Each structure stands twice: as structure tokens, then as C-alpha cells.
Amino acid sequence: VAQKHDIVIIGAGGAGITAAIEAKEAGADVIILEKMPMAGGNTLISGAEYAAANNWLQKKEGIEDNVELHVQDTLKGGDYKAKEELVRIMAENALAGAEWLRDEVGVVWEDELMFFGGHSVKRSLIPLGASGREIVTKLVAKAEELEIPILLNTKATALITDESGKVIGVEATSEDTNYTFNTNKAVIIASGGFGSNVEMRVKYNFEIDETILSTNTTGSTGDGIVMAEEIGANLLGMEYIQTYPICDPLTGTLLYYDDARLYGHTIIANKEGKRFVEELGRRDEMSMAIKAQTGNVCYELLDQNGFVASKLQENHGPELEYLYKNELLVKADTLEEAADFFGIDAVELQNTVDRYNSYVDSGNDPEFNKRSLPSKIEVGPFYILKAAPAVHHTMGGIEINENAQVLDKEGNVIDGLFAAGEVTGGIQGNNRLGSNALADITVFGRIAGQNAAK
């Protein structure tokens, strides 16, 4: 089956649907191809917090911030491996993107901010329910309103080029049909990362082998990266693969219990009852520190006050049920009882907690320099989660310029081809800070859609 559209978009995650909306609003005829039976990708299963300097809640809370600080935090967080001009585009346009999601797409943001590791200040907006569901549901509704078709169960397999190298279409397959989608204007690749593709992970970074689980959906197999490379696109930073520290040790799923850590309320200990890392540190540092502990796991401790303040029951009730059932989470009246459940050294854990509480009093953690100390761990019941790191985000991918145009190995623009979202490389350096992904995919999704429609 052959069809012709102005723009074909590969992938119906956050970046792809955002690009589609912008392109359609600019007057283009757009179609989205999605290989899975539903839209959303990793955006759907993420917490979807969104870093934006100078946002409205910062103003309300009197938090001083600026775009340059967001740029510097991102560069530093990625060990200065990012393309600075792309980081700048992300940071400069992040607030406008969040407002666009709010005002044009109807995304509801919670009335508070989250503090993510590596950011100098609290600058991360939280979507309703602290879940990507809010973002994806509203993006899909907007796409429907604009009559943008999302073709599910349809996998893009190759880019089509003309003799000049310009991209003029996409080959795709569904269960019973082979498609050729020709384009008048452009193809936008928004097919996400390759966190679920073990073979591809190991090809670029042998350490991230099959022993490490993944938080990603099964759709994150790097298809767009491979298709782009086949027609000469340059790839950047493919070896930079991020693990998330707090995941289900049985399945790799990211655990939202970890919200409590981001609010600052938890401490992380090992089986010996000792802290070993800053709880609001970088994801890579925390992950590697956890991997080095007894059993390659950590124990995240929370008291009742922190539990309530983190809204875990309201936002993530079903996850808590699952965790109790699978003995990954315990709730007990005393710290000792909770520690015993996992065979943690209870005496040492109590010492650790006492010391930590004294740091909360003094406002200073001389052991690990935890950057936010909002509450003590003192009021029962106490909660302990057992967790392990898993692959979360692939920083590497297709090289783009400030217009989201794909570049070849010589740095020239490949005509007719744009990319946005996790499929691109060079924006997050070798380590993405939490809540920068939503800013990245929104900002570059919008840019890709607007430019592709020109």
C-alpha cells in the first residue's frame, strides 16, 4: 500500500506526538506510525517531571533560577560531553514548552515542584498524578482533535531516499500490510532510545549487558537510530547509557516509591545498615554505588511523615500493593522490625538514622552532603524498599542541529529528515539529569514539527 503525506513521523511517544501537533498546526498533513498497540512509549511510563527554569511555581515559592544555571547544571551533569548549543536550546525553550503543554494541550501540572539530583535548584514541574499518563493522554486527545492519524501496530523499517540523498519517505509494515509512505516535506524520527535492545547496548557499551534489567517499554529498540545510520546520519555518544538507581529488582521497572527520595525524605542504606551515597546524587553515581553493595541492592528507608508528604498512597497505590505482595516493601511499627524483614543490621541502621536526624537538625550532612534535608526519620510506621538499578535512558543517538535537522558524518544536513527525543544524541552528555527528558522531547519535538512543516 502506498500513501503520500507532507510529513511522516516515526513513533508516538512524547516527542513524536508533540512534533505532529506543531506540524499540523502549521498547516501540514501529518501521519504518525507507532509499532506498539498503543501510543505513549517511555513517556507514558515515566514520572514525566519537567525541568524549566523561571517557571511559575518557582516564582510563587521565591526560588531564584535562570536559564544559564539550567544550562550549566545540564552540561556539568553530563560531564561536559553534550553539544552546548543544543543544551542551550533546551533550557531556553523549556518554560515555553511547559506552558504550551499547559495552555495548548491541556496538561495539568501539580502545584508543587520536585528537586532532582544534579539540578542546583528546585525547578521541576510535576504532571498530575506524577506520571507520564497525564502528558500522553492530553497529547493524544489534542492529536485526535486535530485529526492526526496515529497508525498503531505499524513499524517503520527503512527510510527512502532519492538520488541526491534527500529523505522522501518511509517503508513500514503491519501484521498484514507492507506500506510505502512518501513525503512531500519530511520524515521526523521520534522512535525513542534503545534501552530494551541488549544486543545494541552491548555493541556500544559492554558493561550494560543482560544482567542489568531495563525500565523501558519493549518498543525501545533503537530502530530509528539504525534506520538513520543506514542512510548516513551521524551518531553521538552511543556508549552513554544511563541506569536508574531505584528499580524493581525482579523486573527492572522504575519504582515511583522513589518520589519520596526526590522530595528529600528518604535515606538509602545497605544490608549492613549504613548509608553509602548521597541520596540526591547523580543517577550514574548512585547506580554504580548500589551495584557495589551486598546483593547489588539498596534499601530505601522512609518514615510515616515522609510517606504522607510524598503522596505515595494517593499517586502510586497500585505499585505499593505490588511491592508489599512481592516482599519488596515492608511497613512496620518499629525500625528494628522493618530492618529484620530484610535481614538488615538493625542496630547499625538505628545509629545511621540517629546520625542522619542530627544532620537534619544542623541542616548539614557532613558524610554525603545531601543537598536537601527536609525531614527526620522518626515517626512510625517505617517503610523500607528493596531496590536495584536498571537501564533507564540512552543518551546517545542521532546527531541533530538547532533546527532538529539530522546531520551526516561530515556535519551536513540530510534534507527531508528531522529527529527529536530520546532517539537523538548529544543533548544530555554522558548522563541525563532527571526531568530533563521531558524538556528535551517537548522542546525539540516542537522545533522538529515546526521546521518540518516549512
Active site residues: 283
Between residues 72 and 153, which has the closer beta carbon with respect to ligand ADP? 153
Q: Residues, the chain, total?
A: 454
Q: What is the DSSP letter of 272?
A: T
Between residues 216 and 270, which has the closer beta carbon with respect to ligand ADP? 216
From the list 73, 134, 70, the residue with the least C-alpha distance to 105 is 134
Strand segments, DSSP code E, in 82-214 are 109-114, 124-127, 150-151, 155-161, 167-173, 178-189
Binding of ligand ADP by 425 (CB under 6 A): no
Binding of ligand ADP by 397 (CB under 6 A): no
* Contact pattern for ligand ADP over residues 119 through 158, marking x by CB under 6 A: ------------------------------------xx--
| CB contact burial 303-326 (16+ within 10 A = b; e otherwise) | bbbbbebbbbeebbeebbebbeee
From the list 41, 15, 5, the residue with the least C-alpha distance to 143 is 15
Binding of ligand ADP by 214 (CB under 6 A): no
Between residues 12 and 339, which has the closer beta carbon with respect to ligand ADP? 12
Comparing every residue's Cβ against ligand ADP, the nearest one is 13
CB atoms within 10 A of CB 292: 11
SS3 state at 207: coil
Between residues 249 and 397, which has the closer beta carbon with respect to ligand ADP? 397
Instruction: Identify whether the C-beta of residue 424 lies closer than 8 Å to the C-beta of residue 396.
Output: no
Considering only residues 42, 58, 234, 243, which one is a binding residue for ligand ADP as defined by CB under 6 A?
42
Q: What share of the chain is helix, strand, coil (3-state, %, to 5)?
A: 35, 25, 40
Q: Which conformational region is residue 117 in: left (phi greater than 0), alpha (psi within -120 to 50 degrees), or beta?
A: beta
Between residues 338 and 404, which has the closer beta carbon with respect to ligand ADP? 404
Binding of ligand ADP by 432 (CB under 6 A): no
Binding of ligand ADP by 13 (CB under 6 A): yes
The residues, ordered by sequence, that sit 6+ positions from 199 with a Cβ below 8 Å of its Cβ are none
Instruction: Identify whether the C-beta of residue 73 lies closer than 8 Å to the C-beta of residue 435.
Output: no
Q: How far is the CB of 324 from ligand ADP (least distance, A)?
A: 29
Q: How far is the CB of 168 from ligand ADP (least distance, A)?
A: 18
Considering only residues 6, 34, 65, 365, which one is a binding residue for ligand ADP as defined by CB under 6 A?
34
* Contact pattern for ligand ADP over residues 215 through 254, marking x by CB under 6 A: ----xx--xx------------------------------
**Rounded to an integer, what distance in angstroms lies between the CA atom of residue 454 and that of residue 439?**
23
For residue 274, the one-letter residue type is K
**Rounded to an integer, what distance in angstroms lies between the CA atom of residue 356 and that of residue 261?**
14
Q: How far is the CB of 154 from ligand ADP (least distance, A)?
A: 6
Considering only residues 11, 77, 273, 396, which one is a binding residue for ligand ADP as defined by CB under 6 A?
11
Binding of ligand ADP by 284 (CB under 6 A): no
Q: Does a cis peptide bond (omega within 30 degrees of 0) precede residue 381? A: yes
Instruction: Identify whether the C-beta of residue 90 lies closer than 8 Å to the C-beta of residue 78.
Output: no
Considering only residues 306, 421, 426, 429, which one is a binding residue for ligand ADP as defined by CB under 6 A?
421
Between residues 155 and 386, which has the closer beta carbon with respect to ligand ADP? 155
Interactions with ligand ADP, residue window 181-200 (CB under 6 A): 190-192
Residues of the shown chain interacting with ligand ADP in the complex, contacts defined by CB under 6 A: 10-16, 33-36, 40-43, 155-156, 190-192, 219-220, 223-224, 421-423, 441
